[in-house]
């Protein structure tokens, strides 16, 4: 065994077993700090040192790191729901999203949201914050059939309650209209224009991801019927991102849909410092995958089972 190898083992034992600082090891062994650092890196690379993290969170963290690398995301938060139930998953995702947003919100900040049962859980679990000058807005219009609880207006009110003296910009308009002329007329309304500008220019966006099926909120609120679901599926649509229908690669299924959708554009979303998708459950895996492939979000909050599936999907596609 070479002297260099013996020295490497000794440095590793002193550092990892006896918690000795690199500067102390260097003085004790008559080495430079650079030499100690190099020996420690070699010890890990050669397998002399193997680091094992014993925590229930370690696997979730590893999945998060894998997703960050695979999809070039700023951050991924993976939660391990205690019971794989849709409502419990939404609650756990909401808590995790609230924790993340509390970490990044600052004075005079701006945040926009989509109407969604999962985004509602985020707003519900957000703590009261000692911040000032915050502005809250909606990414998309709503629908009279949407439950008041999950409506954009209610979520904005919840957020307003969490930050004193914050300002809200409710978007009092439908999410879909049936003519380009009608959309143009809506945009002439000063309150709607103000709300849309606030959402387009916000630093942070928090939104859910819908699927294209009869189980979608867009179906039971009347935006989609069986015919539209079938048409969208034939076009390759897998996801609804606050009113934008996208395929598995994250591309818009209809380039002209912006002519009748009351929502900020994909470009506006992708320019945000934080575009946070909060979505989970295996039935949404393909929809979330399309959202990731299209770069619609740079932060993802999801559950462990869905995270594993997304990793598998991308690895199979490589």
Predicted confidence (pLDDT) per residue in 177-198, tens digit: 777 777 788 888 889 999 999 9
Determine which of 154-158, 180-184, 284-288 has the lowest per-residue pLDDT on average: 180-184
Return phi, psi of residue 173, to 5°: -155, 155
Share of the chain above pLDDT 90, in %: 62
Q: Please say whether the beta carbons of 124 and 89 come within 8 A.
A: no
Q: Whole-angstrom Cα distance, residue 288 to residue 239?
A: 7
pLDDT (tens digit per residue) in 241-259: 998 999 999 999 876 665 6
In the chain, residues under CATH classification 3.40.50.1360 are 58-317
Higher pLDDT among residues 268 and 150, named by residue = 268
Selected from 3.40.50.300, 1.10.8.350, 3.50.50.60, 3.40.50.1360, the CATH number assigned to the domain covering 58-317 reads: 3.40.50.1360
The token pair that represents 291 in the structure block:
């959202």
Higher pLDDT among residues 177 and 169, named by residue = 169
Determine which of 221-225, 290-294, 296-300 has the lowest per-residue pLDDT on average: 221-225
Per-residue model confidence (pLDDT) at position 110: 98
In the chain, residues under CATH classification 1.10.10.60 are 3-46
Residue 51 has pLDDT above 60, yes or no: yes
Q: Which CATH class is domain 3-46?
A: mainly alpha
Mean pLDDT score, 21-45: 92
pLDDT (tens digit per residue) in 94-151: 999 999 999 999 999 999 999 999 999 999 999 999 999 999 999 998 866 667 788 8
For the residues of the chain, what is the DSSP string, one character each? --HHHHHHHHHHIIIIIS---HHHHHHHHT--HHHHHHHHHHHHHHTSS------TTHHHHHHHHHHHHHHT-SEEEEE--SS--HHHHHHHHHHHHHHHHHHH--TT-EEEE---HHHHHHHHHPPP----S-EEEESB-B-TTS-GGGSHHHHHHHHHHHSTT-EEE---SBSB-S-HHHHHHHHTSHHHHHHHHHHHH-SEEEE--EESSTTSHHHHTTS--HHHHHHHHHTTEEEEETTEEEETTS-BS-TTGGGSB-B--HHHHHTSSEEEEE--SGGGHHHHHHHHHTT--SEEEEEHHHHHHHHHHHHHH-
Per-residue model confidence (pLDDT) at position 219: 65
Mean pLDDT score, 261-280: 95
Token pair 């690398």 is at which residue? 69
Q: Whole-angstrom Cα distance, residue 102 to residue 110?
A: 13
Angle of CA points 75, 76, 79, to nearest 5°? 145
Share of the chain above pLDDT 70, in %: 91
Residues ≥6 apart with Cβ < 8 Å to 50: 44
Per-residue model confidence (pLDDT) at position 309: 97
Per-residue model confidence (pLDDT) at position 144: 61
Of 248, 297, 257, whose CA–CA distance to 119 is shortest? 297
Per-residue model confidence (pLDDT) at position 118: 96
Residue 270 has pLDDT above 70, yes or no: yes
Confidence of residue 34 (pLDDT cuts 50, 70, 90): very high
The token pair that represents 117 in the structure block:
């049962």
Confidence of residue 58 (pLDDT cuts 50, 70, 90): low
Per-residue model confidence (pLDDT) at position 220: 62
Mean residue pLDDT of the chain comes to 89
Return phi, psi of residue 44, to 5°: -70, -45
């Amino acid at each position: 065994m070479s002297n260099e190898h013996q020295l490497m083992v000794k440095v590793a034992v002193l550092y990892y077993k006896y918690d000795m600082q690199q500067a102390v090891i260097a003085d004790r062994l008559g080495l430079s700090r650079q030499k100690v650092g190099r020996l420690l890196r070699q010890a890990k690379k050669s397998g002399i040192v193997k680091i094992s993290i014993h925590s229930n969170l370690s696997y979730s963290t590893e999945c998060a790191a894998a997703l960050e690398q695979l999809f070039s995301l700023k951050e991924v938060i993976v939660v391990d729901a205690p019971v794989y139930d849709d409502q419990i998953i939404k609650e756990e995702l909401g808590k995790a999203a609230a924790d993340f947003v509390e970490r990044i919100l600052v004075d005079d900040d701006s945040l926009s949201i989509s109407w969604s049962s999962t985004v509602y859980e985020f707003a519900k679990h957000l703590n009261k914050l000692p911040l000032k000058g915050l502005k809250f807005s909606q990414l998309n219009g709503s629908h009279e059939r949407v439950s008041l609880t999950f409506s954009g207006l209610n979520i904005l009110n919840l957020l307003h309650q969490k930050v004193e003296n914050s300002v809200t910009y409710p978007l009092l308009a439908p999410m879909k209209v049936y003519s380009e002329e009608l959309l143009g007329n809506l945009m002439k309304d000063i309150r709607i224009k103000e709300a849309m500008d606030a959402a387009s220019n916000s630093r942070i966006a928090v939104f859910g991801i819908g699927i294209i099926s009869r189980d979608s909120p867009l179906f039971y609120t009347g935006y989609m019927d069986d015919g539209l679901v079938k048409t969208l599926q034939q076009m390759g649509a897998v996801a609804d991102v606050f009113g934008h229908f996208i395929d598995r690669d994250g591309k818009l299924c209809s380039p002209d849909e912006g002519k009748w959708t009351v929502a900020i554009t994909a470009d506006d979303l992708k320019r945000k410092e934080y575009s946070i998708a909060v979505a989970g459950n295996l039935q949404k895996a393909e929809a979330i995958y399309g959202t990731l492939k299209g770069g619609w979000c740079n932060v993802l909050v999801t559950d462990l089972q869905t995270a594993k599936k997304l990793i598998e999907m991308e690895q199979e596609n490589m």
